[in-house]
Amino acid sequence: MKTSFQIKTIARQAGYTLIELAIAIAIISVLVVGALFGVQKIIDNKNVNATSQHVSLANANIQKFSKMLADKSFPMNTNTAANLGIWPDNITTKVNGSVTNVANPFGGNYFTATSSADIGAVKAGNGYFIIITNVPDKVCAAVAGMFGASAWQIQIDDENGYYAMPTTAIGGNTQPKDVKLAGTDRINLANLNAKCGTAAPRKTIYLYFPL
């Protein structure tokens, strides 16, 4: 009788241990998922902030070189502009000393291009685009919002495949893609939410600056 009682007691204890183990595993799983989510948020914020720093530096350098060289056309070619040192060295790829690629924190690229059309009151050729590709939809609004006060115009497009480097001047995109109309003082939040909220998981952001 005593042996039988001991077996039942052990069985009950084993059962309680399994339940407790299951609860512990569930708690750990929740903590791990929460930690991973927190880590991803930190990475996202870091990438957004890095993008802001990169673009702000490039913008300042383009403005500087445009005055020094008395030339508004050099941003038309991404690599020509990059070879002037407008971007941080650690995001550029060089072959035989010449820049062949400028990478952004989202696994895409930074491109520059001039405009072949008037952008609001800015005449064609008197400004330039900085293009940010492969931007995840979850940080689309944050990236665009960083430049709400500085960019003359901001446009967002769905990115459904590889975005190749522009080789000629480009025109403005169509009106529905505008999240900051040319020359206005702020982003249109409704347009921003609409463009960042489309089904496409990746976006291309166009920032236009006058020269």
* Band of residue 78 on the pLDDT scale cut at 50, 70, 90: very high
Q: How far apart are CA 42 and CA 44, in angstroms?
A: 5
Average pLDDT, the chain: 87
Is 129 among the domain residues? yes
- Mean pLDDT, residues 12-41: 65
Count up the domains in the chain and report the number. 1
**Residue 193 structural domain:** 52-210
Is 45 among the domain residues? no
Answer yes or no: are the C-beta atoms of 139 and 201 closer than 8 Å.
no
Residue 164, helix vs strand vs coil: coil
Q: Is 128 left (phi over 0), alpha (psi -120 to 50) or beta?
A: beta
Q: Which residues of 162-198 are buried (b: 16+ CB within 10 A; e: fewer)?
A: ebebbeebbebbeeebbbbbbeeeebbeebbeebbee
Is 7 among the domain residues? no
pLDDT at 11: 45
Residue 52 in tokens:
């802001």
pLDDT at 167: 86
Q: How far apart are CA 52 and CA 177, in angstroms?
A: 21
Share of the chain above pLDDT 90, in %: 69
Which of 159 and 8 is assigned the larger pLDDT? 159
- Mean pLDDT, residues 29-57: 81
Which of 73 and 2 is assigned the larger pLDDT? 73
Q: Check which CATH number belongs to the domain holding 183 and give it.
A: 3.30.1690.10
Strand partners, 110: 132
pLDDT 10s digits, 125-149: 999 999 999 999 999 999 999 999 9
Identity of the amino acid at 115: S
- Contacts for 38 with CB less than 8 Å, ≥ 6 apart: none
Is 75 among the domain residues? yes
- Mean pLDDT, residues 99-117: 95
User: Is 70 exceeded by the pLDDT of residue 38?
Assistant: no
User: Is 80 exceeded by the pLDDT of residue 97?
Assistant: yes
Is 89 among the domain residues? yes
Is 161 among the domain residues? yes
Of residues 211, 205, 210, the one with CA closest to residue 52: 205
User: Is 70 exceeded by the pLDDT of residue 34?
Assistant: no
pLDDT at 13: 52
CA dihedral (142, 144, 149, 152) in degrees, to 10, reads 180
pLDDT at 7: 45
- Mean pLDDT, residues 39-54: 89
pLDDT at 28: 75
Is 121 among the domain residues? yes
